Structure 1
Amino acid sequence: MTVETLIAGVKPAAAAAIAAARERQAQLTKPAGSLGALEELSVRLAGMHGGTPPAGYARRALIVMAGDHGVAADGVSAYPSEVTAQMLRGFLGGTAAICAIARSCGVRIYVADLGVKGHGIDDPRLMMLNVGRGTQSIARGPAMLREQARRALERGAEAFERVASEGVDLFAVGEMGIGNTTPASALTAAVTGRGEQDICGRGTGIDDERLARKREIVARAVARVAPDADGVTLLAELGGFEIGGMAGAMLAAARAGIPVVLDGFIATAAALVAQRLVPASTDWMIAAHRGAEPGHTHALAQLGLHPLLELDLRLGEGTGAALAMPLVDAAARTLREMATFAEAGVSGAV
């Protein structure tokens, strides 16, 4: 699927369904607003489905996309870049944090290599969608070629299509890539117009010296990019292969009419790329949580999304998205299964 096909296929949520759902929510047997964020989420889900949301969302799926980053060699992470490849084995072996959490939430896990430098893994469960053996460092120039950025988006869409072929009602992406909070910070700063002091956090737990270096790199990289740069340009200049893959998968899901649950800061930065490519794609996005990285708050604001959870998560991998999936189901069930005051014969407010 080409980038152009992806872009052309994403449609806005159904405004009439949103209005009807909001009217029904106001009549359900509870004080208005008493279910908090679940009420607005149920209304948004109705817009995504063009009517009452389906029951169950039983087929929940999440792809962990992995890629290496050249900027890791510039000392912006507390961990060596080899960890990216090493963690692939944990994902496939079911021992990583996302695997444990996903099992508890009824979520199928898939793993995709979008740009890992090398891992020697021969496992049919690993989606081999590698665009390149790690990006170039954004400290010295573009992260990738423009053609590679397009390929990352397209291969992310391909990953979604593989998942969809096995059935999916609710979709999410997670990531693994040592150093990837730096490109995520750069993308967020470029799109939001916020400075590196507001956006950059400590990622994997870096010290003050590394944080200062990270901020300087982000400022220098963002200065190369025009404020109105298109999504492919943003990705090529500042992104990562797994970030592009996530953006492409989000667009493919939206094109297929499947709600997309956003994970943490890195996934939300990918959503900014998707939004720049197709503004209506945010209609299909649900913010799982607000993480500990300061840039996450600004990225969510740019998307116009409100997080369901606040747990100070900063791991990534899709952990927050998996945790939020049962809440999405719960929100849909309120609209689908609750009775109105009139239907239940219950007196309303006076």
Structure 2
Amino acid sequence: MKEFNIKKPDDKIIPQLQDKINNLTKPLGSLGKLEDLALQVGWIQNTLSPSLRSPHHLVFAADHGVAVENISLSPQEITYQMLLNFLSGGAGVNFLARQHGFELYVVDAGINYDLSFTNPSLIQHKISKQTKNYLYESAMTSQEMDEAISFGAECAKMCFDKGSNILALGEMGITNTSSSALWMHLLTGVPLKECIGAGSDHTGNILDHKFDVLSRAIENYAGDGSALSVMQYFGGYEMVMTVGAMLEAAQNKMVILVDGFIMTNCMLMASKINPNVLHYAIYGHEGNETGHRTVLKALNACPILNLGFRLGEGTGALCAYPIVDSAVRMINEMSSFKTVEVTKYF
């Protein structure tokens, strides 16, 4: 598998950043989460004057062979239909990307549909039309996993080369909440029941059947329990590409905006490959999918928003971006007690 050289940001700048934040013209700590975010972005960028440049958003899409087990009320064709919707500009991710100035790319990592057209926002790298059914066999081969990791990394590097230093990530793939639940269970030890949510089924009627299928899949799993084995056996191409993109973004010292349940589990997986990736992660929101709060807790993550989202696509990450922007503006644009005639107050 591709190797990543991810370094922890230099702690030496933290006291200087904290001093600058503490001496802005406000009571100590009074801007709360903005102060934490400003410190993190300045630490990542190793500067007292951080900036956000050319924000990019990648949506990886792929289908899952396990969909034949009817563990989602949404039919598999929704994956390619929504990909077409992304490319036509009519989805939730589109209006948010436009609103917040993100350049959006959609990646066909393995949808079960032939795309016979080109689009400036479309990146085609179909590894296969879908993964295999992990109820009975590994979702992908080790070679396919390596290819997905590498291509996801290439996509993140493309964004970096276009001048971006902040990357949001999203996904589309019917049944990928199930893969995420399996990753979460096997990597954290949280009971499977607590990892499984209804996905797109807001009524929750699918839960018992979903639990049965995923439990049998674990019983049939013959891997060694390592992160790479779990990723290969239960992952989707879109999820594995996301892991590669996260690792590459961190290697290039980009801020990574993490979305909901699926993307948070991709960050969990990335952290098992290289723990230093966590330093570059900002968690956009806590979604309504069962287990998201638990996996956030396992990562010691404090999300910015809680808006009742359960859409995916990266929408929660995009909604959180203005808060990160406000944090950067705070540290750069507020006056300091040292430079203006305001008595320091508490």
TM over 0.5, shorter chain = yes
1:90 matched residue in structure 2: 85
Could you tell me how far apart the structure 1 residues matched to 2:226 and 2:339 are?
50
Q: Confirm or deny: 8 A CA contact 1:275 1:303 kept in the other structure.
A: no
Residue 215 of structure 1: which of 211, 216, 220 is its match? 211
1:61 matched residue in structure 2: 56
CA shift digits 1:228-283 (9 cap, x unpaired): 84432221022110000111011111111110100111111111111000000000
Could you tell me how far apart the structure 2 residues matched to 1:228 and 1:339 are?
56
Q: Sequence identity of aligned pairs in percent?
A: 33
Asked if 1:155 corresponds to 2:151, the answer is yes
Structural mapping, 1:34-45, within 5 Å:
34-45=30-41
Per mean C-alpha deviation after superposition, the further-off stretch among 178-187 and 125-134 is: 125-134
Residue 333 of structure 2: which of 298, 323, 337 is its match? 337
Q: Confirm or deny: 8 A CA contact 2:87 2:119 kept in the other structure.
A: no
Q: Confirm or deny: 8 A CA contact 1:288 1:308 kept in the other structure.
A: yes
Q: Confirm or deny: 8 A CA contact 1:67 1:134 kept in the other structure.
A: yes
Q: Confirm or deny: 8 A CA contact 2:41 2:50 kept in the other structure.
A: no
C-alpha change, 1:71 and 1:332, in structure 2 (3 Å) is same
C-alpha change, 1:53 and 1:77, in structure 2 (3 Å) is farther
Could you tell me how far apart the structure 1 residues matched to 2:233 and 2:11 are?
35
Secondary structure, in 3 states, of the residue corresponding to 2:206? Answer: helix
C-alpha change, 1:121 and 1:70, in structure 2 (3 Å) is same
2:290 matched residue in structure 1: 294
CA shift digits 1:94-125 (9 cap, x unpaired): 11110011111111110101111223331143
- Cα deviation, residue 208, structure 1: 4.7
Extract unaligned runs of 5+ from structure 2.
Answer: none
1:72 matched residue in structure 2: 67
Q: Confirm or deny: 8 A CA contact 1:191 1:227 kept in the other structure.
A: no
TM-score by structure 2 length?
0.94
- Cα deviation, residue 52, structure 1: 2.1
Q: Confirm or deny: 8 A CA contact 2:57 2:105 kept in the other structure.
A: yes
C-alpha change, 1:333 and 1:225, in structure 2 (3 Å) is farther
Paired residue type of 1:93: S
C-alpha change, 1:31 and 1:218, in structure 2 (3 Å) is farther
Secondary structure, in 3 states, of the residue corresponding to 2:295? Answer: helix
Residue 115 of structure 1: which of 110, 115, 118 is its match? 110
Structural mapping, 1:295-334, within 5 Å:
295-334=291-330
Extract unaligned runs of 5+ from structure 1.
Answer: none
Asked if 1:247 corresponds to 2:246, the answer is no
C-alpha change, 1:180 and 1:28, in structure 2 (3 Å) is same
C-alpha change, 1:280 and 1:221, in structure 2 (3 Å) is farther
2:192 matched residue in structure 1: 196
Q: Confirm or deny: 8 A CA contact 1:150 1:232 kept in the other structure.
A: no
Asked if 1:135 corresponds to 2:131, the answer is yes
Secondary structure, in 3 states, of the residue corresponding to 1:122? Answer: coil
Could you tell me how far apart the structure 1 residues matched to 2:228 and 2:208 are?
28
Could you tell me how far apart the structure 1 residues matched to 2:194 and 2:150 are?
32
Could you tell me how far apart the structure 1 residues matched to 2:191 and 2:219 are?
11
Asked if 1:182 corresponds to 2:181, the answer is no
C-alpha change, 1:253 and 1:207, in structure 2 (3 Å) is same
Could you tell me how far apart the structure 1 residues matched to 2:279 and 2:148 are?
22
Could you tell me how far apart the structure 2 residues matched to 1:52 and 1:335 are?
8
TM-score by structure 1 length?
0.93
Could you tell me how far apart the structure 1 residues matched to 2:76 and 2:229 are?
25
Paired residue type of 1:105: H
C-alpha change, 1:207 and 1:326, in structure 2 (3 Å) is closer
1:26 matched residue in structure 2: 22
